[in-house]
């Protein structure tokens, strides 16, 4: 075992496990404390299981469109139990991979609820002393007061992932990323989806135009969407489902009510405040630009510190915290270029600024755009809905951001992220030769359109 500094990581999600593994790489004695399963929300209750189910749902959607490709398949159904079993198998393999990495790097994994007590994390009466603590306790689904969250008809995102069968109908309360992903999952399975959002738009984190276009897709697939509406009360619970009343008097009934209004940090009752770690009024651990807390021995990363709740950002923060603890000098956490992906159909991916956020910051921009309907590859795949949009500073031409909606958007966005990070202009990106035919060449086309030199678009 290493004789380096003792680092205890509280929480084994994508922030905590990367922090632990990076600290071990750098010579620390590392203990990773996790009360449930390694991988945290992302691996067990979020990113991985939902994407496995979305892949099955999207395949079902594609098979039903097979006739358009000249493929005759007859009537198609699905086995939800088998879908769930496949999801569980994938999660199990990934979880085993995390444990294997910990074993190889000498990270001691301790299962149980950890509580900070002085310079130690106590688990089931055993003290795990630290020279440095990294808090990575993540978040959990938020409930709503006045709702019986234990009733079988009421679901959180966690509950969805252990449902024994598909309901006939579902009300999704909240039309953010999680709500829209579940709508995309269940619509191909024949579920009548009704969405209720208190804002006057869906997907508040993306630009208005993209949100409106995606809303039309949901509605075309049969979703009913109530915007600018709040839940007034639950009228009744029954064995058949639930009936709710909105603030305008509208009553809605469904077999299931999915509460998808966001997540809350898991920071209460684990001794953080007593250890001199500041927690704000929303329950988030307060950190500085280097991820240090008010306790000089404690650092915090991931969803529990607030901001963007993204697994890949948590992992980057985990690595940075370990490097700041054990490295020769402190490096601030740079969140300028962080891709954000929504795994709906069609996919939506963003990085940097969009048109709305640029205007809010008073930046004058130029916009380049290419529609997937002009891509032979997208047409060949039957995925003509979508576009790639680039934002650049109108004065300097430097790339500031991108929004891509359509097939493979979550894979394509990284090219723009690298370009922004390396200081590319829109002209620079447009001059990079992209293979044809690919959907990725929509990025080149968008850049050339923004520069006024796109042969087919200008």
The residues annotated as belonging to the active site are 436
CA distances 141 to 2, 38, 160, Å, are 38, 18, 12
Q: Are 169 and 189 in contact (CB under 8 A)?
A: no
| Residue 367, strand partner residues | 391
Question: Three-class SS of residue 39?
Answer: coil
The Cα–Cα gap between 27 and 38 comes to 22
Of 14, 309, 298, give the one whose Cα is nearest residue 133: 298
Give φ, ψ of 435 to 5 degrees. Answer: -65, 150
Here the tokens at position 8 are 């205890």
* Cα first-last separation, the chain: 63
Give ∠ CA 223-227-229 in degrees, rounded to 5: 120
Give the Cβ contact number of residue 125 at 10 Å.
6
The dihedral through the CA atoms of 275, 277, 279, 285 has a sign that is negative
Residues 302/19, Cβ–Cβ less than 8 Å: no
Q: Which residue has the tokens 């996790």?
A: 34
Closest CA to 189 of 361, 396, 16, 345: 345
- Are 429 and 416 a contacting pair, CB within 8 Å? yes
Instruction: For residues 423 and 311, give the distance between their C-alpha atoms in angstroms, rounded to a whole number.
Output: 25
Scanning the structure block, which residue is given the tokens 């191909």? 188
Instruction: Please answer whether residues 42 and 52 qualify as being in contact, where contact means their C-beta atoms are separated by less than 8 angstroms.
Output: no
CB atoms within 10 A of CB 167: 18
Helix (H) or strand (E) holding 21: helix 14-25
Residue 165 DSSP one-character state:
S
Structure-token pair, residue 417: 């992220």
Q: Cα separation of 289 and 68, whole Å?
A: 53
């Amino acid at each position: 075992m290493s004789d380096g500094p003792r680092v205890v990581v509280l929480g084994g999600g994508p922030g905590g496990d990367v922090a632990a593994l990076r600290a071990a790489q750098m010579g620390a004695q590392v203990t990773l404390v996790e009360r449930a399963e390694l991988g945290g929300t992302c691996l067990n209750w979020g990113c991985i299981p939902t994407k496995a189910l979305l892949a099955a749902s999207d395949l079902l959607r594609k098979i039903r469109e097979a006739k358009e490709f000249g493929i005759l398949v007859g009537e198609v159904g699905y086995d939800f139990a088998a879908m769930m079993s496949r999801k569980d198998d994938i999660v199990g393999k990934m979880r085993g991979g995390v444990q294997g990495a910990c074993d190889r790097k000498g990270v001691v994994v301790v299962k149980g609820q950890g509580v900070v007590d002085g310079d130690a994390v106590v688990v089931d009466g055993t003290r795990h002393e630290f020279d440095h603590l990294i808090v990575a306790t993540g978040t959990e689904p938020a409930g709503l007061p006045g709702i019986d969250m234990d009733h079988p008809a009421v679901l959180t995102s966690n509950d969805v992932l252990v449902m024994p069968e598909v309901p006939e109908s579902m009300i999704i309360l909240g039309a953010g990323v999680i709500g829209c992903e579940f709508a995309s999952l269940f619509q191909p399975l024949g579920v009548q989806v009704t969405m209720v959002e208190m804002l006057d738009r869906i997907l508040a984190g993306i630009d208005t135009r993209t949100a409106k276009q995606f809303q039309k897709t949901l509605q075309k697939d049969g979703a009913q969407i109530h915007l600018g509406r709040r839940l007034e009360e639950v009228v009744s619970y029954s064995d058949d489902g639930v009936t709710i009343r909105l603030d305008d008097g509208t009553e809605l009934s469904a077999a299931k009510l999915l509460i998808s209004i966001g997540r809350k940090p898991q920071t209460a009752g684990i001794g953080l405040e007593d250890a001199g770690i500041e927690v704000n009024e929303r329950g988030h651990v307060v950190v500085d630009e280097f991820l240090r807390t008010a306790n000089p021995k404690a650092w915090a990363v991931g969803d529990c510190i607030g901001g963007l709740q993204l697994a890949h950002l948590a992992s980057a923060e985990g690595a940075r915290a370990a490097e700041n603890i054990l490295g020769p000098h402190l490096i601030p956490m740079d969140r300028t270029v962080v891709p954000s992906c929504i795994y709906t159909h069609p996919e939506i991916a963003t990085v940097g600024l969009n048109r709305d956020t640029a205007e809010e910051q008073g930046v004058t921009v130029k916009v380049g755009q290419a529609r997937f309907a002009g891509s032979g590859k997208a047409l060949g795949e039957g995925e003509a809905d979508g576009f790639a949009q680039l934002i650049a500073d109108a004065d300097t031409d430097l790339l500031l951001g991108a929004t891509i909606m359509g097939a493979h958007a979550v894979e394509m966005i990284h090219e723009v992220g690298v370009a922004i990070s390396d200081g590319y202009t829109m002209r620079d990106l447009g001059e990079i030769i992209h293979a044809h035919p690919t959907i990725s060449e929509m990025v080149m086309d968008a850049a050339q359109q923004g520069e006024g030199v796109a042969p087919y678009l200008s």
